[in-house]
Amino acid sequence: MHKEEKKASADKPTFEEGKQYHIECKPNDLQGPVLLPGDPERAKRIAGTWDEFKEIAAHRQYYSFTGKVHGVPISVTSTGIGTPACEIALTELMNIGCDTFIRVGSTGVIQPGVELGDLIINTGAVKMEGSSIHYVPESYPAIAHYEVVLALIEACENLGYTYHVGVAASSSSFYLGQGRPGFNDYKISKTDTIIPDLQKMGVMNIEMEASHIFTLSQIFGGRAGAICAVYANRVTNEFGAFGEEEAIKAANYAVKVLAEMDEERTKLDSKYWFRQK
d(CA 116, CA 119): 9
Cα→Cα distances 172→79, 125, 159, 255, Å:
14, 13, 32, 28
Sequence-ordered list of residues with C-beta below 8 angstroms from that of 151, at least 6 positions apart, any chain: 225, 254, 255, 257, 258, 261
Strand 238-239 relative to strand 223-233: parallel, antiparallel, unpaired?
Answer: antiparallel
Q: Would you say 249 and 163 are in contact if contact means Cβ atoms under 8 Å apart?
A: no
Instruction: Please give the single-letter amino acid code of residue 214.
Output: F
E-assigned strand segments in the chain: 34-36, 52-59, 62-69, 72-77, 100-109, 119-128, 142-143, 163-171, 205-207, 223-233, 238-239
Query: Which phi-psi region, left, alpha or beta, contains residue 69 (left: φ > 0; alpha: ψ -120 to 50)?
Result: beta
DSSP 8-state symbol, 14: B
Sequence-ordered list of residues with C-beta below 8 angstroms from that of 137, at least 6 positions apart, any chain: none
> Which residues are known to be catalytic?
22, 92, 180, 234
Instruction: Please give the single-letter amino acid code of residue 177.
Output: G
